[in-house]
Amino acid sequence: MNTEVRVLEPGQIEAPAGEIRFLFLAGRDLFARRAERFRLLSEDHPLGDYLAFLAALADAQQNALNQFPTLSLPDPKEQAFCRDQGMPLLGARSWPRDPAWRAALTMILRYMSAAALPAAASETVVSLIHASEAGLEEMADKILAGDLGAISPGELPFVAAALQVYWVQMASALGEQAFGRLEQGGMCPVCGSHPVAGIVRSGGTEQGLRYLYCSLCASQWHMVRIKCSNCESANGINHYTLEGSTGAVKAESCDDCSTYLKLLYLEKDGGMEAMADDLATLALDMLMDNEGKACGGPNLFFHPGMV
């Protein structure tokens, strides 16, 4: 493992925040692109079977998003209120979920039941198809509260996948102008969730800027690079890479709060996608664990019991 001395890199001295585009919502083709990335990463990978499963799951998510019905959403008055108060408009823990998210889950499960799945996953699909509404809502509450270990490892990816589709649908129907900055720069301004990773953009006016990538709705919001994304401290920030890696993915750790978040440098690999590349670099998480740092970026497809 290489530890880097922190030096200013191009793009770290940034233009005033008002001149920087603050938010990018996920595109309507998010899951198709994610599926493609999972599929590519699954080749010759120690976790190849799981990554290939997640590629099929992302295809199922895209299929569900394409057919998602129109939902009732916060009106302009509510949008302005949340922007003024610095509150996420579609808060993962507070938003009253429409039953449509369960319809998306059913679509995902039907799609997956036609895929060639391992026996255990097929059994989970059948049991979730027959699960009670109350049971599913309870699982959703736990996932959205960040308590991923409270769900069985088999059920987690399916239920989380449906919640992602629902949140992406709502955010894209509202559009970027509906959302404002939060006081806490490390939380998603759309849904209040933690980021799965950070992305350092490449090219154009965003060259070298860091955007945090939401673990739930895949929105990307700008955050300056000199601060820890978790506690906003500017002291004791270090970067780690795996020995022999291209340096496209680094873990950025903070001495003040003892957490880390991965940073994906698109300049080194423009095809990276935060959820997929985070899961494909679990070796880096293991090294950070040995360093005594806790992961600050939850991945909804990673159950704490998997390691």
User: DSSP alpha helices (H): ranges in the chain?
Assistant: 30-42, 48-66, 76-85, 100-113, 119-129, 133-144, 156-174, 274-279, 282-290
Pick between residue 125 and residue 218 the one whose CB is nearest to Zn ion. Answer: 218
Residue 184 CB, nearest approach to Zn ion (Å): 12
Does residue number 121 form part of the binding site for Zn ion (CB under 5 A)? no
Does residue number 64 form part of the binding site for Zn ion (CB under 5 A)? no
Number of residues this chain uses to bind Zn ion (CB under 5 A): 15
**Dihedrals phi, psi of 158, to nearest 5 degrees:** -70, -50
Contact (Cβ atoms closer than 8 angstroms) between residue 82 and residue 88 = yes
Residue 200 CB, nearest approach to Zn ion (Å): 18
Chain residues 236-265 in contact with Zn ion, contact rule CB under 5 A: 254, 256-257
Pick between residue 126 and residue 231 the one whose CB is nearest to Zn ion. Answer: 231
Chain residues 183-222 in contact with Zn ion, contact rule CB under 5 A: 188, 190-191, 193, 214, 216-217, 219
Contact (Cβ atoms closer than 8 angstroms) between residue 91 and residue 170 = no
Distance CA 221, CA 189 (A): 7
Residue 219 CB, nearest approach to Zn ion (Å): 5
* Helix, strand, coil abundance in the chain, percent, nearest 5: 40, 15, 45
Does residue number 144 form part of the binding site for Zn ion (CB under 5 A)? no
Does residue number 165 form part of the binding site for Zn ion (CB under 5 A)? no
Q: Residue 288 corresponds to which tokens in the numbers above?
A: 């950070």
Q: Is 74 left (phi over 0), alpha (psi -120 to 50) or beta?
A: beta
Pick between residue 128 and residue 170 the one whose CB is nearest to Zn ion. Answer: 170
Pick between residue 128 and residue 162 the one whose CB is nearest to Zn ion. Answer: 162
Pick between residue 157 and residue 186 the one whose CB is nearest to Zn ion. Answer: 186
Residue in this structure with the two tokens 């496209």, named with its chain if needed: 248
Three-state DSSP at 214 gives strand
Residue 220 CB, nearest approach to Zn ion (Å): 9
Pick between residue 88 and residue 157 the one whose CB is nearest to Zn ion. Answer: 88
Residue 180 CB, nearest approach to Zn ion (Å): 14
DSSP strand pairing (237-241 vs 249-254): antiparallel
Footprint on this chain of Zn ion (rule: CB under 5 A): 188, 190-191, 193, 214, 216-217, 219, 228, 230-231, 233, 254, 256-257
